[in-house]
Amino acid sequence: MVRTALITGASGGIGYELALIHAEHGDNLVLVARNKSRLDEIGALLRENHGIKVYTIGKDLSVAGSATEVFEELHGQQIIVDYLVNNAGFGDFGMFAESEWGRQEGMISLNVTTPTHLTWLILPGMIERGFGKILNVASTASFQPGPTMSVYFATKAYVLSFSEAVNNEVRKHGVTITALCPGSTESGFHSAAIGDGRPVKERKMPSAHEVAEFGYRAMMKGKAVAIPGFMNSIMATSVRFMPRWLVVKAARMIQEKKN
């Protein structure tokens, strides 16, 4: 049986790599991102190389109502989603009081509101059919507050909490939700967050493909939480045993070293 995967933020980074992986496994694709021309290029390549169907939707998912518009377009095309990958998101670096509200509001909308709404729209169909897998891309940032990236860390904490809770609710219906929590990844994320293209001062990072492979395997196994990398797992776990003030202080020091 041929399945269909909907992947947001599919024009680059982890989302693009997940599209390649799903295509390699013979899944049809719905790719969503702002850059429609880039999606069309990817779609043409994947159709040619893998003989699959690829439907592209150019959409700014930070805009209110965008999830409904995507869902209605799927309904109009009679596309049933078996795998939902909520990958689109971005971060911002700097002191919250000095930040631009429009950017913070857009981040909350893209990182929190849209993936929650898409899940709410698509999940009932999965439950009715008795099959479905959802991959929500969170972060190791999900496990502690993050001074200098306060809103981003908070949005990813939401993604983790939401994913774990709803996964518990729907597993009995044959549906699973996985929160993928990567650390820093070679995906262009940090340059976008900082905004000036400066390289990040950090140890060698895993590639977007490595993270995508890890996330895909975890989703297919129905794991609730997937943290790629041994040290990332240790760090995510260790914060449970540290005083909160120390966790926040350490996070501030790490962030400032990166940037």
What distance in Å separates the CA atoms of residue 29 and residue 19, rounded to the nearest whole number? 7
Residue carrying structure tokens 């929650």: 116
Return all residues near 27 (Cβ < 8 A) that are at least 6 apart: 2, 3, 4, 5, 52, 82, 83
Q: Which residues are catalytic?
A: 152, 156
Specify whether the CB–CB gap between 7 and 87 falls below 8 A. yes
